[in-house]
Amino acid sequence: MPKVLISDKLSEKAAEIFRERGVEVDVKTGMSPEELKACIGDYDGLAIRSATKVTAEIIAAADSLKVVGRAGIGVDNVDIPAATGRGIVVMNTPDGNSITTAEHTIAMILSLARQIPAANASTQAGKWEKSRFMGTELTGKVLGVIGCGNIGAIVADRAQGLRMRVIAYDPFLSPDRAADLDVEKVELDALLKRADIITLHVPMTDQTRGMIDAKALAKTKPGVRIVNCARGGLVVEEDLKAAIESGHVAGAALDVFTVEPAKENVLFGMEQVVATPHLGASTAEAQEKVALQIAEQMSDYLMTGAITNALNMPSLSAEEAKRLKPYMQLAEQLGSFAGQLTHTGLKAITIEYEGDVADLNTRPLTQVALCGLLTPMLDTVNMVNAPHVARERDIDVAEVKHERDCDYQTLIRLSVTTERGPRSVAGTLFGGTKPRLVDIKGISVEAALTPDMLYITNEDKPGFIGALGTTLGDAGVNIATFHLGRAAQGQDAIALLELDGPIDAQTLEKVRALPHTKQAEALRF
């Protein structure tokens, strides 16, 4: 009989579900890391919330562990690479907290608009400062939603019930989906300039970290209010404080902070700031929902092998997994490459299979390619729910198998259609195991994808490569490999550089400023 440990406080019904499905369960909450390490080797499954830290050290001691289930969305407390290396499935419940988090956002907006926390403190202190707390109506105001996925869409719906006008910035929001939500899709700069209240609902990625900084705040209208119930670090707290002190920003409501638990913070003590201790998912209904869901998912996996909402494994059998492993790596890299270069709304995705790969079960390959494509902007996407996420966003996904002969023994081509037009990327396996990029936008470029890379599209003009090398050299950036390709003499050219380390933002901007540069992006794999 499989055995599961519940190490964080979950609904009692979760334990009941495990037992009903034939899984033995122990509930031991509040353990120290040493205590967890000492006993984890006895269990096949570990059910957690946010308190338990599943570190590489814990995983190393988990000799029998097969699955870690997080009741909730965020898995920052789980070392996923370490779990993957040990063959441990990591599951979460990406949709269980959506309504609760959206409702908390609306509560924060209302509290901020009417200064409710400060007014409450004043009144309970025996004061009657009616004239001090002059609020603002929400009716007719413009709400700017940054990230219009599951939670952002619910916030938009609730705000419309308050008769607010909603504009949204989301590179993955299609025009049809925007129309269905009755929101106006805009670019980020337009949102910053027009919104009376800005609320964030995006994951923490390299692209979103610090996105609301001094530069962004300077673009906002005077009197704007900032709300963040998504991830700490999306807002540069020092810059926000300065903007509030200057009077440009009227106030902010924050449920998340760069450092948590936030025992101290530069924004604490400011009357214009409403702060809560990461309460977005903290309702009885949400906690019970995610607890029951994770118990069902883990039981299904342990008893039948069924995989649901896994962050590090697709739905496939053990026999297929071994054979598909190199193809899955190739598909994920192609998706990640395209996703990191896609900054406008996705309309359609086509994944084509030629050669040997066309004879295999390509569904997991399509799922992992979609996951790689969508992950740069969506932290809740995984290999299992990626097709569902694409459907929710009205992204047409097509899978095509060709029986025709091709130049390679196997070939996978990923084509995306965005609001700015189509682009494609193709790859193959060298020696049957080594992924290689062989085509970008119809231009032949042969390259292996490595951790830190620089992608450039430029006009094919003399002197560009020299100027690029000088710019990188002056910045202390070493080039490991350099791959070039061009459509034709004097037309578009592509450079793909393997770097010895990440390129900083300042150097990247210098590359973008070089004559003849059309696009320059830092990529990570």
Q: Which of 260, 296, 399, 521 is catalytic?
A: 260
| 3-class DSSP assignment, residue 103 | helix
User: d(Cα 452, Cα 236) in Å, to the nearest integer?
Assistant: 25
Helices within 271-385 (DSSP H only)? 284-304, 318-340, 363-374
CATH code, residues 324-449: 3.30.1330.90
* Beta bridge pairs of residue 444: 439
Nearest Cα to Cα of residue 167 among 138, 196, 139: 196
CATH code, residues 98-275: 3.40.50.720
User: d(Cα 249, Cα 266) in Å, to the nearest integer?
Assistant: 15
Go through 158-181 and write b for each residue having 16 or more CB atoms within 10 A of its CB, e for each that does not: bbeebebbbbbbbbbbbeebbeeb
User: For this structure, is 231 an active site residue?
Assistant: yes
In the block, tokens 């906690």 appear at: 287
User: d(Cα 371, Cα 383) in Å, to the nearest integer?
Assistant: 5
Contact 374, 367 (CB under 8 A): no
Nearest Cα to Cα of residue 285 among 103, 154, 159: 103
324-449 matches 98-275 in CATH topology: no
User: For this structure, is 177 an active site residue?
Assistant: no
Backbone angles phi, psi at 147, to 5 degrees: 95, 100
Q: Which of 165, 177, 278, 393 is catalytic?
A: 278
Query: Which of the following CATH numbers is that of domain 1-96+281-312: 3.40.50.2300, 3.60.20.10, 3.40.50.720, 3.40.50.920?
Result: 3.40.50.720
- The two three-digit tokens of residue 81, written as one number: 């690479």
Where in the chain are the domains?
A: 1-96+281-312, 98-275, 324-449, 450-525
pLDDT tens for the chain, residues 1 to 525: 999 999 999 988 999 999 999 999 999 999 999 999 999 999 999 999 989 999 999 999 999 999 999 998 878 899 988 887 787 889 998 878 889 999 999 999 999 999 999 999 999 999 999 989 899 999 999 999 999 988 999 999 999 999 999 999 998 888 889 999 999 999 999 999 999 999 999 988 888 999 999 999 999 999 999 999 999 999 999 999 999 999 999 999 999 999 988 999 999 999 999 999 999 988 888 889 999 999 999 998 898 877 888 887 766 655 666 788 899 999 999 999 999 988 777 889 999 999 999 998 888 899 899 989 998 877 667 765 678 788 888 899 999 999 877 788 899 999 999 888 888 999 999 988 899 999 999 898 999 989 999 999 999 999 999 999 999 999 999 999 999 988 888 888 999 999 999 999 999 999 999 999 999 999 998
Name the region of 95 (left: φ>0; alpha: ψ -120 to 50; beta: rest): alpha
User: d(Cα 150, Cα 171) in Å, to the nearest integer?
Assistant: 14
First-last CA distance in the chain: 39
Alpha carbon 423 to its chain's center:
22
User: d(Cα 488, Cα 460) in Å, to the nearest integer?
Assistant: 8
- The two three-digit tokens of residue 412, written as one number: 């996978």
User: For this structure, is 332 an active site residue?
Assistant: no
User: d(Cα 431, Cα 212) in Å, to the nearest integer?
Assistant: 46
Go through 73-105 and write b for each residue having 16 or more CB atoms within 10 A of its CB, e for each that does not: bbbebbbbebbeeeebbbbbbbbbbbbbbbbbb
Q: Which of 49, 70, 231, 393 is catalytic?
A: 231
Query: Which of the following CATH numbers is that of domain 450-525: 3.40.50.720, 2.40.50.220, 3.30.70.260, 1.10.3720.10?
Result: 3.30.70.260
User: d(Cα 456, Cα 522) in Å, to the nearest integer?
Assistant: 9
Contact 368, 383 (CB under 8 A): yes
Helices within 380-492 (DSSP H only)? 386-392, 464-474
Contact 187, 169 (CB under 8 A): yes
